[in-house]
Amino acid sequence: MATIFITGSTTGLGAMAGKKLGLAGHLVIFHARNEERAAVLRQTRSNAIVVGDLSSLDQAFDVATQVNELGPIDAVIHNAGTYGGPINLTTEGIPATFAVNVLAPYVLTAKIENVGRLVYLSSGMHQARPVAADPLWRSRAWSGTQAYSESKFYVTALAKAVARLRPDTFANAVDPGWVPTRMGGSSAPDDLDAGVATQVALAAGASEVAALSGEYLHHMAVRDAATGTSNPEVQERLLGLCFELSGAAM
């Protein structure tokens, strides 16, 4: 039995992954953005629940502390994400899309102790190469869709960087597909069960794909990630930016 922490697990793919892992006998730690969502979750779950808004650096650090207090942790599924809309800056002046989709997984990876399996939720949209000179949209006209695509490029690069820097850790990125969740919308054409299967298998460590590390997967198969995500120079620039913003050393 593994102990598995899932970010953004009150609804959608995160909740579904938690349910499947729990039914398989694993101990699941759920995550809610705020106490209101945690209260709803407690109505249906007796599991441990940690609370914190991952768009806030202080709260991301606190989430890591809460998880460590429940440890040891065998696997983390970095499922929480945000998509599109007008630019929304955090209290630290960081676009929330970058803060939630990239910086929070970085902080949790740096601060949650001795995790053997790390799963990062990417997207088929990650192929849009970021503008390296302006990753935080300081000078560009904002595009919510482009910012989301870039954030998924970055989190895919983060997964590959962790696999490179931590050879004893299994770290992979997963594209769940365009599935009918609150984020994906009710008309999304992909299958929810298929959308959650890969991250569940990777976190549980009980299938052939669980032996992989540094890969980008979709529906239980390795796929080609954007070329730049495997480039150590790109990865190091990303890690440097995340360290500069957070002060958390990988």
Q: Are 163 and 213 in contact (CB under 8 A)?
A: yes
User: Which member of 20, 111, 152, 160 is catalytic?
Assistant: 152
Residue 154 among the catalytic residues: no
Q: Residue 117, Cα to own-chain centre: how many angstroms? A: 13
What gap in Å lies between CA 7 and CA 76, rounded to an integer? 8
Q: Tokens at residue 69, please?
A: 């207090």
- CA distances to 16, 41, 57 from 47, rounded to whole Å, are 14, 9, 25
User: Which member of 106, 120, 148, 154 is catalytic?
Assistant: 148
What gap in Å lies between CA 155 and CA 162, rounded to an integer? 10
Residue 152 among the catalytic residues: yes
* 152: nearest Cα among 133, 177, 170: 177
Active site residues: 148, 152
